[in-house]
Amino acid sequence: MKQFREAVEARDAQAMQALLADDVVFTSPVAFKPYPGKAITSAILRGVLRVFTDFRYVREINDEGGRDSALIFEANVNGKAVTGCDFIHVNDDGKIDDFMVMVRPLSGAQALAEAMGAQFDQIAAEAAAETTDGAN
């Protein structure tokens, strides 16, 4: 998805969030259960911006209908090289409603799990604040 790719490459968390559906489901490469909802997904994506260095998309694959995309990326996490893919589906409104990430190699996934684990308290707090702010 071109708009999401541009937002990530610009490190624009607000633009990334604006592309998410309220009922988006985020599936992490390092967590067993998916994370439902815009607030937690936005907070996770901000956390990813904090832990990935030298992030770059290297390939984009889109279906003919424009609803499914695969964005292949390379990055570093705590000195470990990671190759991954963002699998994105958009709903009828053009908003991301399904977002799944896969990464390799195992050492990179382990470094990512450790780095994101260290971010989790901040991620949870940001999501809770966003949910509270959105309810007022």
What are 37-73's pLDDT values in tens digits? 999 999 999 999 999 999 999 999 999 988 999 999 9
Closest CA to 31 of 46, 50, 44, 49: 44
Domain that holds residue 52: 2-123
For residue 134, name the pLDDT band (cuts at 50, 70, 90): low
Burial profile 100-126: b = 16 or more Cβ within 10 angstroms, e = fewer: bbebeeeebbebbbebbeebeeebeeb
Is 129 a domain residue?
no
| DSSP structural state of residue 124 | H
Mean of the per-residue pLDDT values of the chain: 93
Is 130 a domain residue?
no
Is 48 a domain residue?
yes
Is 35 a domain residue?
yes
Q: Is the pLDDT of residue 135 over 60?
A: no
Q: Is the pLDDT of residue 136 over 50?
A: no
Q: CATH no. for residue 54? A: 3.10.450.50
Is 134 a domain residue?
no
Q: How many folded domains does the chain comprise? A: 1
Burial of 61 (0-12, 13-18, 19+ CB in 10 A): exposed
